[in-house]
Amino acid sequence: MIGPRLKLARAAAGLSLRDLESRLGNLVTAQAIGKYERDEMMPGSEVLIALARALDVSEDYLLRAESVELVGVDFRKQKLTKSKDKARVEAQVLAAVERYIEVEDLLALKSSWNPPAGFPRKVTDLADAEAAAADVRKAWKLGIDPISNLTEFLEEKGVKIVAVPLADRVSGVNARVKKADGKQVQAIVLNSEHQGERQRFTLAHELGHLLLVASSDEEAEKACDRFAGALLLPVEVLRREIGQRRTDISIRELFYLKAAFGASAQAVAFRCADLGIISPALKTEIFKIFGKNNWRRKEPARIPRELPTRFQRLCLRALSEEVISSSKAAELLGTTTRSLLASLDKTPNPSDAQPPGV
């Protein structure tokens, strides 16, 4: 039976039944594809091969039994209003996490999300969120220095980071996937198109949603924003670098701090205002400058994107240790065997970092 897999692959590709019919060159009708997805019919070998090619998956993928199940994606206030967009994101998450779990199982690795002791924790105000970030840094022995690569760090803690293109207004979401043995896998979906500073804040914010419990969605968003700021910009080191109280601060200094902490200049300004280092009036003036220069969405002096690499590393390790064949490694990585083998002695491109979709 290929129904669930076929539907998943089509959703991940963002195709309607009619779109897939057209991509198949009208080899079969949209009605027939719908019957395949409902397991009312089974395609012949010619159609199966055509479906796999049209959806950029292998025939083996379509024929394989499902091993994971999507428990939920927390879209919250994110503006993915179209059901088609939500289905595409859910399918990409499920496919990427499934491949991630598969290669971990092949290497007999145990990687599960275990929050620090005392978390999840209820928060009633922003001071609680501030304290929670400090406690997380202490529990994970992060000290007060900037976190050089938050993506890699969270993957080491068992969170699967899935980077996929999303609408610009959507920064990221949490997702939970259930394995065949009943255990759940926690993932954070990251917008692969965003600048590195936005990605880092999104990761810290979504980590907040995994660790904090608030009385309402609105309070949760505020608490997670405060948690993210405190995690990326610890109060002790920020006051050391900026001072206890400032009556003025230049845009240039904000951008130096951006480079030092891996957080946007706007996040630095917000953080300084939250801590009372600068006044609300000064913060307003700073953001007027950002607005005038059209820097609110995309700042200059961009931080490199933090796209995840652990999945790719595990696939290459499995290939080197002969746990999997080159064709299997290529399938997991979403490439051709020829391209994979040609890339083994080359340095990676930044775009190679994100886990593949279906």
Tokens of 260: 């030092």
- Each as own residue / partner, the long-range contacts of residues 245-251 (CB below 8 Å, 24 or more positions apart, any chain) are 245/276, 245/277, 246/272, 246/277, 246/278, 246/282, 247/279, 247/282, 248/282, 249/278, 249/282, 249/286, 251/286, 251/289
Measure the CA–CA gap between 30 and 20, rounded to whole angstroms.
7
CB 92 within 8 A of CB 164: yes
CB 170 within 8 A of CB 79: yes
Q: What is the mean pLDDT of each run of 10 residues along the chain (358 residues)?
A: 86 89 93 94 93 87 78 67 75 85 90 91 97 97 93 93 85 87 88 93 96 95 96 96 96 96 96 97 97 94 90 95 95 91 85 47
Measure the CA–CA gap between 213 and 209, rounded to whole angstroms.
7
For tokens 């009605």, name the residue: 31
Domain ranges of the chain: 1-66, 67-358
Domains 1-66 and 67-358 share a fold: no
Q: 67-358: which CATH architecture?
A: Orthogonal Bundle (1.10)
- The pLDDT, as a whole number, for residue 355 is 46
Measure the CA–CA gap between 199 and 165, rounded to whole angstroms.
12
Counts for the chain of helices (H) and strands (E), in that order? 17, 6
- The pLDDT, as a whole number, for residue 356 is 41
Beta bridge partners of 179: 68
Q: Residue 355, preceding bond cis, omega within 30 degrees?
A: no
CATH topology of domain 1-66: 434 Repressor (Amino-terminal Domain) (1.10.260)
Give 357: exposed, middle or buried? Use CB within 10 Å, 0-12, 13-18, 19+: buried
- The pLDDT, as a whole number, for residue 95 is 83
Nearest to 228 by CA among 192, 250, 252, 261: 261
CB 350 within 8 A of CB 304: yes
Measure the CA–CA gap between 103 and 324, rounded to whole angstroms.
9
Q: Which uninterrupted H or E stretch holds 218?
A: helix 217-232
Tokens of 160: 């699967």
